[in-house]
């Protein structure tokens, strides 16, 4: 099914007005933020559920101190990823994150260290991010979990079913539930990463 959630992040006690998923470490798997390009990153495996992050550089020929992203290219690449998931009947959550300031072009991932040395000579770009989190169907989550595995939960906001669950859950239990009941099996995820890596071309 398809529906929207809106969330007022300034009123939920977070230290920044950003979803926790937006702050997760990631590595580039394709593209970059140069003019006319789209970039796709993969979230760190340490996060609850691995997912893709799509962002875009400015349109070709657009210059400036902080150029805005090419939203058409961003939307087209995002739809390619979603269409692939739909064709495989893979459940997924989509998070639209507004620009939060400049994002610098990251280098290609090389054993996890590439982003540590991102080239500072690149022009910053003002781009929204689209986070696409493929997952198992929500019905696969154990009935005793005490929370759903919907868009807010995969984004890092755990909404407990009741006060007892809230008081008893701990981070290790939440991680285990997500890894066992929500995250895709590694072979399928690796296959998707290989497929998605060709989409910005």
Q: Can you give the pLDDT at residue 9?
A: 78
Q: Packing angle between helix 71-87 and helix 186-196, nearest 10 degrees?
A: 140
139 vs 134: CA distance, rounded Å: 14
For residues 101 and 54, is the Cβ–Cβ distance under 8 A? no
d(CA 199, CA 123): 23
State which H helix or E strand residue 134 sits in: strand 129-135
Give 118's pLDDT tier (boundaries 50, 70, 90).
very low
Residue 101's pLDDT band (boundaries 50, 70, 90)? low
* Residue pair 12/157 in contact by the 8 Å Cβ criterion: yes
The pLDDT value given to residue 186: 94
């Amino acid at each position: 099914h398809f529906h929207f959630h809106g969330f007022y992040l300034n009123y939920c006690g977070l230290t920044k007005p950003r979803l926790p998923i937006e702050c997760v470490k990631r590595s580039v798997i394709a593209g970059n933020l140069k003019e006319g390009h789209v970039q796709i990153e993969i979230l760190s495996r340490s996060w609850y559920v691995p997912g893709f992050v799509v962002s875009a550089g400015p349109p070709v020929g657009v210059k400036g101190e902080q150029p805005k992203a090419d939203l058409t290219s961003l939307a087209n690449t995002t739809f390619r990823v979603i269409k692939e998931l739909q064709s495989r009947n893979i459940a997924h959550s989509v998070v639209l994150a507004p620009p939060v300031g400049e994002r610098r072009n990251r280098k290609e991932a090389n054993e996890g260290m590439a982003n540590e040395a991102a080239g500072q000579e690149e022009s910053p770009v003002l781009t929204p991010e689209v986070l696409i989190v493929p997952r198992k169907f929500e019905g696969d989550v154990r009935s005793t979990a005490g929370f759903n595995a919907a868009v807010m939960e995969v984004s890092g906001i755990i909404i407990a079913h009741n006060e007892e669950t809230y008081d008893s859950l701990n981070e290790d239990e939440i991680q285990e539930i997500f890894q066992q009941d929500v995250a895709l099996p590694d072979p399928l995820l690796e296959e998707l990463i290989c497929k998605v890596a060709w989409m910005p071309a």
